Amino acid sequence: MTVNAMTSKEVTKKVFNKEELFILDVRNHSDFQDWKIEGENFEYFNIPYFELLDGVEGIMDKIPTYKEVLVVCAKEGSSIMVAEMLSDEGLTVSYLKGGMKAWSEHLEPVKVGDFKEAGEIYQFVRIGKGCLSYMVVSNGEAAIIDATRMTTIYLEFADNIGAKITHVFDTHLHADHISGGRNIAEKTGATYWLPPKDATEVTFAYQPLEDGNLVEIGNVKINIHAIYSPGHTIGSTSFIVGEKFLLSGDILFIDSIGRPDLAGLAQDWVGDLRESLYKRYSELSEELIVLPAHFMIIEELNEDGSVSEKLGTLYAKNHGLNIEDENEFRKLVTENLPPQPNAYQEIRETNMGKINPDEEKQREMEIGPNRCAVR
């Protein structure tokens, strides 16, 4: 009996719309505990598929008949098998097309704003991994910030809206995902910008991105203004775009702040992190809309699925911006850290150009949640 395949895009819409969904996850318990599809109104039951090889009769009382049911596994095969068994028992179920592998790689573009000078900014939500990347468009030109390795979507999106990609930026040397920035620049002839303090070991040519750099996009001149803001890495750089948006990279998130330890230098960089957040950012307009490079929890999503908040609101509500005692702050960001991202050292070396793993290896390196924030 054939069962319905549900795509990552369809599941993403359910997340954005806060719909109900029952997920039967047939991966190992440890994989499920580490990383799962998250939705505010999703329910879950996790049982490894090998426990279902002799049939699904034992779990029929766990599967609701009044909700949409999605079976999920790592790559799709096991979920098809379990979905077919449930279908044979009379249930209507779907399986996740491409499994968690596809979920990890799905990008959903959301328009987050317009510029008064004419132009717009789009956020690409990597819903399964919490990565956020951006495209600034003005008068037929586009700039991309913090691109993922799934570069086709940016190229096709720019093509569909009639924009030529002229600049590509990374706010810092990423450690949780492989950057697509250099790849996009090579394919389009765009200028690739990288903070030089993060690029001391890179093996390729780049344009140094430094404090005060002004890059114009389109004839109407939407300025991308670089602000040196170290702390997550020593080169971390933020952007003010069109005097309206603050692209904060991995320094400041909606519900948390960046971690300073992904190069093993937490004690060294914690002072930089505090200065960036408590001095440099505090001097900026509270009306700036913060667009971070990651989100941590599904509750950070706005009604339309985007992730953003005014800087003034974050100074009022984000705990990481309200720790007066410097020692307490130091303790928070050096002792209260989640596990390191999977394969973060290999990811950093890939982003430096030192190693060039094949696509399957890159996919494997990135599996799991992002872990760029202090808890």
Say how many C-beta atoms besides its own lie within 10 A of residue 314's C-beta. Answer: 25
Distance CA 173, CA 209 (A): 12
Nearest residue to 144 (alpha-carbon basis) of 117, 100, 183: 183
Cα distances (angstroms) measured from residue 338 to each of 148, 295, 368 = 22, 15, 13
Distance CA 188, CA 179 (A): 16
- Establish how many alpha carbons lie within 13 A of residue 55's alpha carbon, considering only the half-sphere containing its beta carbon: 5
73 part of the active site: yes
Report H helices in the chain. 8-16, 29-34, 77-88, 99-105, 152-160, 181-188, 266-275, 311-317, 326-335, 344-352, 359-366
Distance CA 240, CA 224 (A): 6
Distance CA 124, CA 344 (A): 22
Containing 215, the helix (H) or strand (E) segment is strand 214-217
Instruction: Please identify which of the residues 21, 37, 72, 73 carries the catalytic annotation.
Output: 73
Strands lying side by side in the sheet with 309-310: 214-217, 222-228, 237-241, 245-249, 289-292, 309-310
Distance CA 9, CA 128 (A): 11
Residues 6+ apart with CB under 8 A from 238: 171, 226, 227, 229, 246, 247, 248, 249, 251, 281
Distance CA 371, CA 375 (A): 9
Residues forming the active site: 73
